[in-house]
Amino acid sequence: MQNALSVSIIPYGRQSINDDDVAAVVDALRSDFLTGGPKVEEFECAFAARVGAKYAVAMNSATSALHVAMLVGGVKPGDRVVTSPNTFLASANCAAFVGAIPDFSDIDPISGNLDPIALERGWRDDTRAVVAVAYAGQPCDMPAIAQIARAQGAVVIEDACHGVGSALFHAGRVWPVGGHPWADITIFSFHPVKTMTTGEGGMLVTNNAAWAAEAKRLRSHGVERCEFTGLGADTDPELAERGPWYYEMQALGWNYRITDIQCALGLSQLARLDEFIARRRAIVGRYDQAFRNLHWLARQGVCPPAKPELTSWHLYTVQIDFTALCKTRTEVMHELRAKGVGSQVLYIPVHLQPWYRKTYGYAKGKCPKAENFYRRSLSLPLFPAMGDEDINRVVEAVLSLGNRCI
Ligand SMILES: *Cc1c(COP(=O)(O)O)cnc(C)c1O
């Protein structure tokens, strides 16, 4: 290490903010609206157009959007909601928010995504929704998942928090995530480690007009200002006078609103999305090339209908045979860190979390492929602001991981 800069740690992910992003936020701060203003709808319209969906509803996080998806999708207490164990907690927690039972189906070990065969085999009659997670940005086999779920009357929610800008290839055509017909609702996250950011933020997209309207009500206290039910006005003349002040609370809602400040940043980041994706793909290409001959490392695999060139990679996760190196994962992470390379493990299988064990009785062995994926996985730095020297540093650090067996 020659200088102070070279010992800084390259994180596994981080945002990319330029002067245009800063200017957009400053403009929003100087405008009349910090929240509830025109930037929210502008961002929603631009985002819906980008992903090819009819409606987009922006919220303060993808977690909120997943909760709202459960509500508009009609998931009720006691219903079962099946998701992948190889995901962030929120993909499963959303089911528990509405009193449903989060359940897990095992993954395909190549893609790290839900395996449609396992999903069908383990299907239970009380399953009301499937939350299909696009791990690392790679879409699941959505046509197969939708066929299984819809035959049973279940709602398909695609958790595309990793997959802003991804697409899949099916029946000779490219179908964008958010705009293909095999998800009823698609969720995106704009947390700073994700592909584009609003600080905190999320988006629910759907082609269902009634669900989009309901999602907008639920994000703001269940309040409706246009389409009234008039419930109570038949017997109370005071309520019949619906003056300009009038509003109705028609459902129990939350404050899941996003601000104009965040949406101004979102619009600016959306304009840079193609550039972000191109850079991510280029970095993945460099890593894949550099790591192709390591017998103790397996690169991220891609399964149809996903294609590498249609995936906007959020993570670069490799599978390492730590026993072949005679090292623990902790030792490998320390060794990388000493060379200025951060790494992360994504994810601990959700069903093995203490709360899931004690609440639902889940235990090791429930999803062996996901458990094995977790045991060997390590995510390396991947973000558009990485320079070529950062990429080289990661490559060299991985290639020089010593083998202690010999
Ligand atoms: C980040 C993430 C979420 C939650 O997103 P927030 O915007 O942080 O609430 C949900 N699911 C997956 C797969 C994620 O990666």
> What distance in angstroms lies between residue 179's CA and the mean position of ligand 1's atoms?
20
DSSP code, position 104: E
Task: Evaluate if pTM is beyond 0.95.
Answer: yes
Mean pLDDT of 369-387: 97
Atom of ligand 1 nearest to the CA of 200: 7
Helix (H, G, I), strand (E, B) or coil at 82: strand
pLDDT per residue as tens digits for the range 317-360 = 999 999 999 999 999 999 999 999 999 999 999 999 999 999 99
CA distance 61 to 83: 19
The angle at the Cα of 349, spanning 151 to 279, to the nearest 5 degrees, equals: 90
Q: Which atom of ligand 1 is nearest to the CA of 134?
A: 13
User: Which residue in this structure is represented by tokens 């064990």?
Assistant: 357
Over residues 240-296, the pLDDT tens digits come to 888 889 999 999 999 999 999 999 999 999 999 999 999 999 999 999 999 999 999
Question: Rounded mean pLDDT of the chain?
Answer: 96
Query: Is 131 a residue whose pLDDT tops 70?
Result: yes
- In the structure, which protein residues have their CB atom closer than 6 angstroms to any atom of ligand 1? 61-63, 87-88, 90-91, 133, 159, 161-162, 189, 191, 202
- Tell me: pLDDT of 68 over 80: yes
pLDDT grade for 7, boundaries at 50, 70 and 90: low
Ligand 1 atom, smallest distance to 193 CA: 1
CA 193 to ligand 1 centroid distance, Å: 10
Atom 5 in ligand 1: residue holding the nearest Cα: 62
Q: Are 95 and 70 in contact (CB under 8 A)?
A: yes
* Placement of tokens 């930037």 in the chain: 39
Compute the C-alpha angle 186/263/43, nearest 5°.
Answer: 60
* Residue 187 three-state SS: strand
Of 297, 303, 288, nearest to 108 by C-alpha is: 303
Q: How far is the CA of 88 from the centre of ligand 1 (A)?
A: 6
Residue 404: its pLDDT value, please? 81
Architecture of the domain whose range is 4-12+273-404: Alpha-Beta Complex (3.90)
Confidence (pLDDT) at 238: 82
Cα angle 191, 201, 203 (rounded to 5 degrees) comes to 115
Where do we find the tokens 């709602």? 155
pLDDT in tens, 170-213: 999 999 999 999 999 999 999 999 999 999 999 999 999 999 99
H helices of 201-318, in order, are 209-219, 237-240, 260-270, 273-290
> 279 with 244: CB under 8 angstroms?
no
pLDDT of residue 3: 46
Question: Ligand 1 mean position to 194 CA, how many Å?
Answer: 9
CA-CA distances (angstroms) from residue 91 to 7, 88, 97, 318, 350? 36, 6, 11, 22, 9
In terms of phi and psi (left: phi > 0; alpha: psi -120 to 50; beta: otherwise), the region of 112 is: left
CB atoms within 10 A of CB 147: 14
Q: Do the first three CATH levels of 4-12+273-404 and 19-271 match, i.e. the same topology? A: no
Number of H helices, E strands in the chain: 15, 14
Q: Where are the domains of the chain?
A: 4-12+273-404, 19-271
Q: Give the integer Cα–Cα distance in Å for 162 and 158.
A: 11
Determine which residue's CA is closest to atom 6 belonging to ligand 1. 62
Judge whether residue 37 has pLDDT over 50.
yes
Q: How far is the CA of 111 from the centre of ligand 1 (A)?
A: 19
Class level of CATH domain 19-271: alpha beta
Can you read off the two tokens belonging to residue 307? 């294609």
Counting beta carbons within 10 angstroms of the beta carbon of residue 122, is it exposed (0 to 12), middle (13 to 18) or buried (19 or more)? middle
Query: At 4, is the pLDDT very low, low, confident or very high (cuts 50, 70, 90)?
Result: very low
